[in-house]
A = this chain, B = another copy of it.
């Protein structure tokens, strides 16, 4: 608690300074403002018109958008009475409305074609007519039901986009029209999602960020200080139950923290890592950046982009680094696979980061891949950059991203070899708010854009109405969040922190060592002491490359110490089909679930074996590439093949494979594994190249509290020794160790030769 108190003081100071500053600004606020000034600016529009027809990527985007909006205008305007969940007609219709309205606004400004302004005006007045008497949405699932949509979150989306449309036709509308819209639609709309729903609005959570931005953006357009302040600082905490929780099991409120600035302060680490994970960072980025852009344009004195050491701009680069070679986000915590930097949110983010962040030419290569830009000042800027040939490749490197507002709550370490030939994503972070999974020291592994060892991601089909209205499925809680759904240690078939959010939120793992200096030997190592009280886990990933190996390999060392004997399960969710093993196993004539709870109830036990040698080997094939797992096993280990899909009455889960090492009745232990990608197979040439593992044997040479030494022998006969100092990560420490009568001395955390 004392730690938390100190942290708060550190935050309060700059916030107070900012508050003072803002107060001054507001007192000088001008009454007459020219529109558009929110996202598009008068000056920007003039520049765009000047360059139009000479900037290919901008021109192409404009054409696409025009075609899309024209088709919608031809269809007519529909504002049906809200009734559906996401994926359903009314939901998708209202969503489409706000997306198209925003685009129509831009088109009106750029083309000066009045049909776009008329379209927006007519749509706004249909909403104005409807909103006056609109009850709360009939679907009752949300903790904060909206009016147009089943949750306030989506209502906020609407306002964030529609504010931009309104800004674009603000000057074109008559004063009377504006007054009517503001009085009957915008002001009540903003009030409903804020003071009307404090449990939604006053949180430190991506939901609230949307709410804050929505209120703030309409406030900026309306030049309404009250709304702008409410956006930046939240609403009063009186009459709020501070112990209330949301649907996902997270606490609703954090004392003293609410509003856009708190949301900016709290979930971002100094490097711009967003604690919920990249999927939600992507989602949250849009309101963060778009409102920041608005604030920058209307209130440049706020210097919002410089806030917290330019964390907003940094976070864009960070987010790009949280993708595989195909640009898809690592599905840490709740993340839907396939979401990528091709999303509209990232187009905005990249354009804004380029425009307001000093024209980093590497961002141009991402924009080039995205092949579209935002139709505003920032999109123009990036289109011009591409046109002028300033593009440089965005090279993703190994990176350690700290978690927590001060960067002191663990983190995510990413090891990459070469041009993403192998990428390991190691999670030793904080809980990740209500979207967090219980998977300390877990990792996923990628070869380019292919998953080698997968993180399951979330159990949800976002916006597909067939599947629980497109919302979170119950299997997200019973499977996806559980520890066994991840590549990490499970003790006694229970999840980390007993799968309890209240407990998990209090803890985070600790980085032990991260070093990427040598591209052929990169290390990330972290410890976790709270997931299972009385048990300490220390996991080290070493990404190795040498001429012995065709491709880089990953060495995975997990040291476990416990106060009592336990059953340990270490799963590897390999992607692909089993080719061969070096141990005997039997499949079962009938399938039974592997367990009864904590996610185990969802795994069928397909086959089981026991080690034949000291090293157990599993070889598999995926997408034309071979992979081998070599792991040191004990005679009494059970080697289990699992298949997801048990207790899945609605086919909500994929039928993915798993392999787990079970070590029972064990107190302290060491798991050492090597994952090798190798060779390839083409069904066209039918050549199988380098189909076998290069590793002959891995061996524990020494394992004490202070040191763990592993030897790796390849089939060519060479043996390399890796020694890790377990209790002193200093790069300056000198170590001396005798193993089998041979002396090893070295400087720093590890030895390798």
Contact = CB atoms under 8 A, between A and B. Distances in A.
Interface string A324-349: 00000000000011111011100000
Contacts of A551: none
A134 interface: no
Contact of A684 (B92, B342, B577): B342
Given A87-B691, A591-B591, A604-B591, A683 B336 contact: yes
A645 to B, nearest CB: 7
A621 interface: yes
Contact of A462 (B470, B643, B686): B686
Contact of A683 (B92, B338, B648): B338
B338 A684 contact: yes
Contacts of A590: 590-593
A587 interface: yes
Contacts of A682: 338
B654 A577 contact: yes
Contact of A464 (B461, B592, B691): B691
A467 to B, nearest CB: 6
A344 B684 CA distance: 8
Interface string A679-714: 001111111100100000000000000000000000
A637 to B, nearest CB: 20
A691 B85 CA distance: 14
A685 B470 contact: no
Interface in A119-164: none
Interface string A615-626: 000010100000
Contacts of A592: 590
A461 B626 CA distance: 13
A396 to B, nearest CB: 19
A627 to B, nearest CB: 12
Interface centre among A87, A470, A619, A688 (most CB of B within 10 A): A688
A466 interface: yes
A455 interface: no
A153 B211 CA distance: 71
Contacts of A591: 590-591, 604
A20 interface: no
A691 B86 CA distance: 12
A77 interface: no
B587 A464 contact: no
A683 B580 contact: no
Given A578-B651, A651-B578, A655-B643, A688 B464 contact: yes
Nearest to A283: B686
B466 A691 contact: yes
B463 A579 contact: no
A464 B579 CA distance: 9
Contacts of A421: none
A580 B337 contact: no
Contact of A339 (B461, B467, B643, B683): B683
A634 interface: no
Contact of A92 (B92, B645, B655, B688): B688
A376 B109 CA distance: 61
A587 B648 contact: yes
A315 to B, nearest CB: 20
Contacts of A340: 684
Given A339-B684, A604-B591, A683-B337, A586 B464 contact: no
A462 B344 CA distance: 43
A714 to B, nearest CB: 17
Interface in A542-596: 577-580, 586-587, 589-593
Nearest to A346: B684
Interface centre among A337, A648, A650, A654 (most CB of B within 10 A): A650
Interface in A589-641: 589-593, 604, 606-607, 619, 621, 641
A649 interface: yes
A465 interface: yes
Contacts of A607: 649, 651
B619 A343 contact: no
Contacts of A651: 577-578, 607, 641
A590 to B, nearest CB: 5
Contacts of A604: 591
A20 B587 CA distance: 62
A470 B580 CA distance: 12
A492 B649 CA distance: 28
Contacts of A691: 87, 464-466
A580 B645 contact: no
A654 B647 CA distance: 21
A87 B690 CA distance: 10
A684 B343 CA distance: 5
Contacts of A343: 684-685
Contact of A463 (B344, B586, B654, B687): B687
Given A344-B685, A577-B654, A590-B591, A645 B467 contact: no
Interface string A346-368: 00000000000000000000000
A592 B465 CA distance: 32
Interface in A427-474: 461-467, 470
Contacts of A688: 87, 92, 463-465, 470
Interface of A: 87, 92, 336-340, 342-344, 461-467, 470, 577-580, 586-587, 589-593, 604, 606-607, 619, 621, 641, 643, 645, 647-651, 654-655, 657, 681-688, 691
Given A466-B580, A607-B649, 6 more contacts: A338-B682, A463-B681, A466-B579, A467-B579, A578-B650, A591-B591
20 contacts: A87-B691, A92-B687, A337-B683, A338-B683, A338-B684, A339-B684, A342-B684, A461-B579, A461-B681, A462-B686, A463-B687, A464-B621, A466-B619, A470-B688, A589-B647, A590-B590, A591-B591, A591-B604, A607-B649, A641-B651
